Amino acid sequence: MSSIRYLAPARARGRDCTYNLFRNRLRPELLCAVPEDRPVPGFLDPGGWRYERALRPSDKSPPGFEERAARAGVRFNGFYLFQITDARAELAA
């Protein structure tokens, strides 16, 4: 008698932390995501960057934000730089 096992469908791994988003003042399409439990990198000075908003796990990702790349960036650098890929897109709160 054979046994049939059913696997649960794979689902995309969601964001598991809240990121603080910072926007570059000279290039507004460039953002930096820093997990809220990490220190803010020194290059995010108020003259060149401004705080945009918190990106919570339940929030929709901005265009250009890649979950897997964010995890790798944070793992190696402590932050994740990304570019908004749709010029018409706004970061909805």
pLDDT tens string 71-83: 999 999 999 999 9
Indicate whether 85 pLDDT > 90.
no
Q: What is the largest CA-CA distance in the chain?
A: 71
Residues 6+ apart with CB under 8 A from 58: none
- Written as six digits, the tokens of 28 are 């507004």
Q: Which H or E element spans position 54?
A: strand 49-55
pTM comes to 0.78
Range list of H helices, the chain: 67-77
Sequence ranges of the domains in the chain: 19-83
90 or 60: which leads in pLDDT: 60
- Please write the tens of the pLDDT for every residue from 25-63: 999 999 999 999 999 999 999 999 999 999 999 999 999
pLDDT at 9: 45
